[in-house]
Amino acid sequence: MSAPIISINHASFSYVTFTKQSGFSGAWHDLFHRQKSTVAAVRDISLQVNRGEVLGLLGANGAGKTTLIKLMTGILPVNTGKVRLFADQVPFRKRPAFLQRIGVMLSQKSQLAWDLPPLDTLVLLREIYHISHDQFTTWLAFLTKELAVTPQLHVPVRKLSLGQRIKFELICTLIHRPEILFLNEPTIDIDVSSQANIYRFLKQLNQDTQMTIILTSHNTKDIEALAQRVAVINHGRKIFDGTTTGLISHYATAPILEIVTDGPLTPLPAHVRQVDPTHYEVDATALATLPVDPRHILRVSRRNGNLDAILTQLFSEEAPAQ
């Protein structure tokens, strides 16, 4: 088996921040006695990613997902531990040959020149990444067609919709055909049809080119649609590494089934609790079959049986002491 394309061993990163007191007296006090504190953003994380894998990083706000991406891409240096990409590349050194092989899309940071059409930025990237004119033309035509933004190539960026801008950001990230693609919140604030378009396109790209994709998102739909594997980060630590179904089965609690019926159930069967006239809960711990006539069931689902519920439960847990 080949070596992992990304290898992280016991990586940690912390930064110094300060708290500011409110009001004039607080500001005066802070001027002379600033209260500094160290925040451990990533704690002792180890992670291996193989070529062609799609890994989803899940975590609440401030959990450490984006910091982990920044360590992998070399924006930040690790305090302790090791991060290596392509077997021997230290990301923080940012060697041109290394940067040529990765693509990074940070949701709140734009590559596009605001006052110019996207094509001008893309031509600049063509020169930066030394892409031949023929390759550039063919690949750009493919990308813009797949993401349905060909007519917008010549429109100034400031006049594009948010969804169109995000698609062009994605094109900027992919224009040099990177081997590893880092996507931080790629579908934030865009409509469902554009989301579906991006999911389909990235899936196809991963299958056709074996591009490794590292994805962070708060939208569990992104993760379920794309990721073959997920790593859950909570308070800077990795608390799970496996498949999405593995995550659900690992954390799902007692089998309580939620049933919606087409009318009230009379009489109420055993083990069934009525929530409202057509909404029931069944404790399925000791049951082999459903105690409700299937002809009257509109919907049945397991509580804590989806990714959102599991993550809500995981992320609400208290932070460990620093």
Binding of other proteins by 239 (CB under 8 A):
no
Min separation Cβ 300 and other proteins, Å: 38
Give the shortest CB-128-to-other proteins separation in angstroms: 5
Does 123 contact other proteins by CB under 8 A?
yes
Binding of residue 100 to other proteins (CB under 8 A): yes
- Which of 185, 222, 230, 257 binds other proteins (CB under 8 A)? It is 185
Interface with other proteins, residue 109, by CB under 8 A: yes
Q: Is 129 a binder of other proteins (CB under 8 A)?
A: yes
Query: How many beta carbons lie within 10 A of that of residue 272, not counting itself?
Result: 17
**Residue 8 CB partners (closer than 8 Å, separation 6+):** 45, 46, 47, 48, 68, 71, 72, 81, 82, 83, 84
Which of 108, 266 has the CB closer to other proteins? 108
At 246, list the tokens: 């593995």
Q: Does residue number 155 form part of the binding site for other proteins (CB under 8 A)? A: no
CA distances from 240 to 139, 202, 206, 253, 265 (A): 37, 24, 23, 16, 41
Contacting residue, 54, 63, 83, 102, with other proteins by CB under 8 A: 102
Is residue 94 a contact point for other proteins (CB under 8 A)? yes
Q: Is 115 in the site for other proteins (CB under 8 A)?
A: yes
Mask for 64-83, x = binds other proteins (CB under 8 A): --x---x--xxxxx------
Cα 290–chain centre separation:
37
Task: By CB under 8 A, name the one of 3, 27, 87, 128 that touches other proteins.
Answer: 128
**Binding segment (CB under 8 A) for other proteins, from list 114-122, 195-203, 289-297, 310-318:** 114-122
- CA dist 289 and 268 (Å) reads 16
Q: Are 72 and 215 in contact (CB under 8 A)?
A: no
Distance CA 39, CA 103 (A): 28
Alpha-carbon distance values, 90 to 82, 94, 120, 209, 270 (Å)? 8, 8, 31, 24, 62
Q: Report strand pairing: 6-19 vs 80-85.
A: antiparallel
10 Å Cβ neighbour count for 205? 17
* Residue ranges binding other proteins (CB under 8 A): 15, 66, 70, 73-77, 94, 96-97, 99-100, 102, 104, 106-111, 113, 115-116, 120-121, 123-125, 127-129, 156, 184-185
